[in-house]
Structure 1
């Protein structure tokens, strides 16, 4: 009986040690993870909007959560086969809030930035549509 209990304890201790060891990351892994840029699409989108210095936001860019609500919806609409024209019209996805708005030329640039951050596989189709319409 003692051997069974001892064996069970050793097995349990080995499992606990193995699990704990498996969860720890090597120091090099932690360092490289923090050195890489964020893969968060909202962070990428807001950074690119800031960098674009759109005229509509000369006095300040809307809150990231407000502005960042649009790109996932745009990507969903594009996946459903809708166009940018539809999104900004009948789709009700024109980038504006209760206390902020976006000029049409800036809205086209904004949709490109949003698609680039949230659904980059659709960027070529969006830019082609906007170029064909003569607005990008």
Structure 2
């Protein structure tokens, strides 16, 4: 399912880029003035799920919906001044990446949180990666 989502998102992006590059001129008209519109941004879910596809989950494979609910919650916790340790703790945020039938080992959980922060709230990436590196498991 994730592969289909990624392929569909890539196809949409390519179609958008192709449409931007086509010209409607008949050859006799002046070239259109170059526009400096911002390039299309990548959906944070797409970037995050690309990393998630490389994770070996325990149990069953989580759905994209299960995985994409976590990063916004991690960002909220980080915005409130909490650490990744707090986010993952059962007494804190209880936002460790696992579900009813799936889970992750800590090293992979750290990869997921770093990817989620990079995609959804990159202003916290430096502090998160520093915290994760200090554990010796990232």
Give the TM-score of the pair, scaled to structure 1: 0.67
Cα pair 2:60 2:101 within 8 Å, conserved:
no
Cα pair 1:95 1:107 within 8 Å, conserved:
yes
- Structure 2 gaps of 5+ residues are 1-15, 22-38
CA distance in 2, matches of 1:29, 1:111: 30
Determine the structure 2 residue equivalent to 1:103.
Answer: 105
**Deviation by residue 1:109-134 (Cα, 9 ceiling, x = unmatched):** 11001101101111111000111121
Cα pair 2:51 2:112 within 8 Å, conserved:
no
Determine the structure 2 residue equivalent to 1:74.
Answer: 74
Higher helix share: 1
Give the TM-score of the pair, scaled to structure 2: 0.66
Determine the structure 2 residue equivalent to 1:54.
Answer: 55
CA distance in 2, matches of 1:60, 1:70: 18
Q: For 1:93, what is the secondary structure of its paired residue?
A: coil
Counting matched residue pairs gives 104
CA distance in 2, matches of 1:107, 1:128: 15
CA distance in 1, matches of 2:40, 2:115: 17
CA distance in 1, matches of 2:114, 2:61: 17
Determine the structure 2 residue equivalent to 1:39.
Answer: 42
